[in-house]
Amino acid sequence: MVFRCLPEPAFLGVARRREQVFNFAAGPGAIPEEVLLQARDELLDWRGTGMSVWELPFTGAEFREITARAADDLRQLLAIPSQYRVLFMHGGASAQFSLIPLNLLRGKGSADYADTGHWSRKAIIEARRYCAVNVAASGAATGFDRIPAWEEWRLDPGAAYCHITANETANGSEYHWVPDTGAVPLVADMTSNFLSRPVEVVRYGLIYAGAQKNIGPAGLTVVVVREDLIGGAAAATPSVFDYAIQAEADCCYNTPLTYAIYLAGLVFQWLKRQGGLTAMEARNARKSHKLYAAIARSGGFYRCPVIPRDRSRMNVCFTLADPALTESFLEQAAECGLVNLRGHKAAGGLRASLYNAMPEEGVARLVEFMDEFARTRG
């Protein structure tokens, strides 16, 4: 698309074709090409209905089938036990920062939060509007270069729930273990690592993920919630955001994000064809190891601020020993079709997001470029 108010196509730098680009964006991120091709083929006429998915009534049998299939495929991928509900909601992950306290406090006055970086801080700020927040653990003292070790956590047994950010998209850290919060339900923001690896769902009371990182279009948010936590939302909770009302209505209390659910469903089918989450985990481990290895062998030319134990497989954050080279790194990478490598503004530096849709070839090309850039500029 060309925005007419901008000189075309200069705002893109150089015009490129899809096959010339590897998109390392943190979000919205890349979507598997197979999925986009299928969506293109079905755009005008979904399965002989003579209508686009955009045009299907959400109360009709066709759309019901699309949602049911998407929910079912997700249940299979994550092996979601029957006592959990899958909700497709509006508002992005940021809406859940409010909806979690509104729905889960249920008369309690406090909740535990682990402070591991940019996104957990956003969740904490929002939760403070509804309850007392006990920061059970914080990585602030060491600049969020790690997930606080379990021995350092100070949990409140009276907390309504304990919230973690499973993968810190901006800081490049990830939990490779699951906190055991006992009877206090564990709530996880998995926006940026959802479906990147198998998850033991029973360890969590609630898992949520904004779709635009690893599932599909922005706005859609997937919530997987244990049934006993549904009900008893605060009286002021908008009906569209009440888990009980949406669960009761099969997420059709109001018009759901029909096209986004359809596209997410295509991604779930694609993941099944790839061999499911075990296969994705192996692939994601290979991709991230390859990139961290390139950083390590650069002899300090590139640096990763996160300690090895807690490094993210999804968002590889790194800096250049000489920050003055950052802009030319970005420019030259873009010339090679390696785009959207700028770090989050809260963290600076560089970041390569390696979501499911990033092929191994993209990482190989990035590593080749980085080796060459270090050799010629180092």
Ligand X SMILES: *Cc1c(COP(=O)(O)O)cnc(C)c1O
List residues binding ligand X (CB under 6 A).
Answer: 27, 92-94, 119, 165, 169, 189, 191-192, 210, 213
The active-site residue out of 112, 119, 242, 310 is 119
**Both tokens of residue 346?**
């809260």
Closest distance between ligand X and the C-beta of residue 209, in Å? 8
* Residue 119 among the catalytic residues: yes
Distance CA 132, CA 109 (A): 6
Burial of 213 (0-12, 13-18, 19+ CB in 10 A): buried
CB atoms within 10 A of CB 92: 16
- Between 67 and 169, whose beta carbon lies closer to ligand X? 169
- Between 27 and 301, whose beta carbon lies closer to ligand X? 27
Crossing angle of helices 276-296 and 258-273, in 10° steps, is 80
- Between 166 and 370, whose beta carbon lies closer to ligand X? 166
Among candidate residues 80, 76, 64, the one with its CA nearest the CA of residue 261: 64
Among candidate residues 203, 111, 202, 225, the one with its CA nearest the CA of residue 157: 111
Closest distance between ligand X and the C-beta of residue 2, in Å? 25
- Between 98 and 258, whose beta carbon lies closer to ligand X? 98
Q: How far is C-alpha 354 from the geometric centre of its chain's CA atoms?
A: 11
* Residue 272 among the catalytic residues: no
Closest distance between ligand X and the C-beta of residue 267, in Å? 16
| Separation in Å, CA 155 to CA 160, 180, 192 | 11, 10, 25
- Between 191 and 298, whose beta carbon lies closer to ligand X? 191
- Between 172 and 205, whose beta carbon lies closer to ligand X? 172
C-alpha atoms less than 13 angstroms from C-alpha of 42 in its C-beta half-sphere: 18
Closest distance between ligand X and the C-beta of residue 69, in Å? 24
* Residue 322 among the catalytic residues: no
**Residue number, nearest CB to ligand X:** 92
Is residue 185 classed as helix, strand or coil in its secondary structure?
A: coil
- Between 69 and 122, whose beta carbon lies closer to ligand X? 122
Closest distance between ligand X and the C-beta of residue 208, in Å? 9
Closest distance between ligand X and the C-beta of residue 72, in Å? 24
Closest distance between ligand X and the C-beta of residue 119, in Å? 4
Q: Which residues, at least 6 apart from 53, have a Cβ–Cβ distance to it below 8 Å?
A: 42, 46, 63, 66, 258, 259, 262
Cis geometry, peptide bond prior to residue 28 (ω within 30 degrees of 0): yes
Is residue 343 classed as helix, strand or coil in its secondary structure?
A: coil
Query: DSSP of 350-377, one letter per residue?
Result: EEEE--TTS-HHHHHHHHHHHHHHHHHH
The active-site residue out of 213, 242, 270, 287 is 213
Residue spans of alpha helices (H) in 229-275: 243-248, 258-273
DSSP E strand boundaries for the chain: 22-23, 84-89, 110-115, 132-138, 162-165, 167-168, 173-174, 186-189, 206-210, 221-226, 302-303, 315-320, 338-339, 350-353
Positions marked catalytic: 119, 189, 213
